[in-house]
Amino acid sequence: MANRIKKGDQVVVIAGKDKGKQGEVIKVDGDRVVVSNVNLVKRHTKPNPQAGIAGGVVEREASIHISNVMPLNPATGKGERIGYKVLEDGRKLRVFRSSGEALDA
């Protein structure tokens, strides 16, 4: 089954230590997603002058499981479930199950 969450979607975290936080999906990798300013971890990095990396303790986002996030409906401000609607020309469109309005523009 295709993922219901794509890069660039606004999502809300529904489980875990960051429950309730909202952010944009930066990366989707299989069944894991990276969301901006969610699940921040500290990593000790070595300096790399060739790549322009200073080194030290760097804070960055770690991935979380895709089942712990839900697409955010801007009309209601809540996370809502996603369904699909097939258009006449055969394309699939992601829609919110509660209202039926399209998620994709």
Indicate the residue type of 34.
V
Percent of the chain with pLDDT over 90: 75
Q: Three-state DSSP class for 67?
A: helix
* 10-13 vs 69-73, strand pairing mode: antiparallel
Q: Please state which of the four CATH numbers 2.60.40.10, 1.10.443.10, 1.20.140.10, 2.30.30.30 is assigned to the domain occupying 7-94.
A: 2.30.30.30
pLDDT at 6: 93
Residues whose CB is less than 8 angstroms from the CB of residue 60 and which lie 6 or more positions away in sequence, other chains included = 40, 41, 43
For the chain, the domains span 7-94
Higher pLDDT, 103 or 56: 56
At 4-30, the pLDDT tens digits run 899 999 999 999 999 999 999 999 999
Cα separation, 1 vs 50, whole angstroms:
42
- pTM score, two decimals? 0.84
Q: What angle do CA 39, 11, 57 make, to 5 degrees?
A: 20
Mean pLDDT of 57-76: 94
